[in-house]
Amino acid sequence: VQASSSNADALTAALAWLAGRGPELGRLLGALVAQNSHSQNRQGVNQVVDLLEPELRRLSLTVERIPGNRFGDHLAFRGRAHGAAVFLIGHTDTVFRPGSFEGFQVDGDLGRGPGAFDMKGGLVVTLAALEALNQAGLLARIPMAGMWVSDEEVGSPESQPILRSRAAGSACALGFEAGRTGDRIVTQRKGVASVTAVGAGVAAHAGNAHEKGRNAIWALARYVDRVQALTDYPRGLTVNVGRFEGGTSKNTVPSGARCEIDLRFCTAEDGQRLLERVESMAWSAAVEGTLIEVTRGSIRPPMVRTPASEELAREYGACQVESGLSSGESPLVGGGSDASVTSAAGIPSIDGLGPRGSGQHTLDEQIELSSLVPKASALVRFLARRAGAAS
Ligand SMILES: [Zn+2]
């Protein structure tokens, strides 16, 4: 067929164009990494967005810069082709506070710097693939869209509803978080919820009026004992009281105590039930005259593996293998990401499609620069096929 052979030629042209771009992609990554963009560094995040926005606009995409409130701005983009889109997910923020880890260094094939692996490298992979498809005249024929948020590392509190609205109706979602060992694709992640419990009692002198006091630490300690016991490893449920504080002095019955709790779960139902139990235990654990108040913090739903996401991982894995990479599925991971948000919205979602590297969230964060082109080639192949361009 005339059309499909010309699409195949366009795919070949896109891949050939990409093959020569390695050094340029390294330079783009360097510019993105050199700018600190810790989640709380709103101005820094916006400067990274300033670098990315014109790159997207050059591709004749519809680009929307959505002002952040507490955090930096988000970027949403959409191609011109109609139809259920392939939705590309990324984030511009990092976990590194200004001054804690700065600058970009190249050492042979390694590119080191804050956010190089998580996940500015994934943004470069995405941009490179889109540009290659654009150069070959294919991009305008592929239904695609995406969003790069500014608050992922703190649980996407502001961007979650925006991401859900921009991704609605998409055929599938691809996350370009840090690549896993062996280029394995992430199909499942635990859900994460954070909860704060505050105990209130009555202060009294420990020597003169012990019986008049109501010990908030005792109440909260009983509570901690009960909620920790909800951990169920076979079911993938964990409760971790990670911070605990209270009291003012050894000889005062404490009137206040506070703890922070991290909850992880494999299904939305388990998460709901766990949260309800953690809340109801506040009543049974409190000692007479004390009160425990439980407040929900950020909640990220689990990314649940489905037949559709499994099929998506297979299809993407084939594109990776054709691009000289490996394939396979990653075992269940404990940390959430924005692909969990699209997954919970019913969109088949996979993640971990970014470059090879190591040291995520540490001062050794680095990527293998030579993996940028093959990772981008895999996305080029996947998108071209979705458009029916290369059968
Ligand atoms: Zn990340």
Share of the chain above pLDDT 70, in %: 98
Predicted local distance difference test score (pLDDT) of residue 334: 82
Helix (H) or strand (E) segment spanning residue 63:
strand 62-66
Residue 255 CA to ligand 1 center (angstroms) comes to 40
In the block, tokens 């699209």 appear at 342
Cα of 93 vs centre of ligand 1, distance in Å, is: 8
- Token pair 């400067």: residue: 47
The whole-angstrom separation of Cα 271 and Cα 45 is 32
The sign one gets for the Cα dihedral 153, 164, 367, 137 is negative
Can you read off the two tokens belonging to residue 110?
A: 């390694």
Residue that is written with structure tokens 């700065």 in the block:
102
- Rounded Cα gap, residues 389 and 141, in angstroms: 9
Per-residue model confidence (pLDDT) at position 163: 98
Q: How far is the CA of 335 from the centre of ligand 1 (A)?
A: 10
Strand, coil or helix: what is 98?
coil
* Residue 131 Cα to ligand 1 middle (Å): 23
Check pLDDT > 90 for residue 387. Answer: no
Taking the centre of ligand 1 as the mean of its atom positions, its distance from the CA of residue 188, in whole angstroms, is 15
Give the Å distance between the CA of 123 and the centre of ligand 1. 11
Kindly state the percentage of the chain with pLDDT values over 90: 91
Neighbours of 103 (CB within 10 A): 11
Between CA 2 and CA 10, with CA 5 as vertex, the angle to 5 degrees is 125
CA distances in angstroms from 211 to 35, 59, 179, 292, listed in the order given: 58, 73, 59, 20
Ligand 1 centroid from CA 74, angstroms: 15
Q: How far is the CA of 266 from the centre of ligand 1 (A)?
A: 20
Note the pLDDT tens digit of each residue in 216-274.
Answer: 999 999 999 999 999 999 999 999 999 999 999 999 999 999 999 999 999 999 999 99
SS3 289: coil
- 383 is written with which tokens? 């998108």
Neighbour count for residue 157 (Cβ, 10 Å): 15
CA-to-CA separations, 3 to 8, 79, 382, in angstroms, rounded: 9, 21, 18
The single-letter DSSP state of residue 181 is: G
Distance 253 CA to ligand 1 centre (A): 44
**C-alpha of residue 58 to centroid of ligand 1, in Å:** 25
Query: In the structure, what pLDDT confidence band is assigned to residue 333 with cuts at 50, 70 and 90?
Result: confident
DSSP 117: I
Cα 175 to averaged position of ligand 1 atoms, centre (Å): 9
Cβ proximity of 220 and 259 under 8 Å: yes
Q: Is the dihedral of CA 301, 82, 52, 384 positive or negative?
A: positive
Cα(152) to ligand 1 centroid in Å equals 7
Which of the four pLDDT bands, split at 50, 70 and 90, describes residue 89?
very high
Question: In the predicted model, what is the mean pLDDT of the chain?
Answer: 95
pLDDT bin (cut points 50, 70, 90) of residue 155 is: confident
Lookup: tokens for 241: 């009281």
Give the pair of three-digit tokens for residue 295. 């407040």
Q: What is the mean pLDDT of residues 94-114?
A: 97
Query: Residue 258 Cα, ligand 1 centroid: separation in angstroms?
Result: 29
Position 5 confidence tier, pLDDT thresholds 50, 70, 90 = low
* Residue 234: count of CB within 10 angstroms of its CB: 5
What pLDDT, on a 0 to 100 scale, did the predictor assign at position 390?
Answer: 39
- Using pLDDT thresholds of 50, 70 and 90, give the confidence band for residue 4: low
Measuring CA to CA, which residue among 148, 32, 167 is closest to residue 90? 148
Is residue 320 within 8 Å of residue 378, measured between CB atoms? yes
Q: What does the pLDDT read at residue 391? A: 37
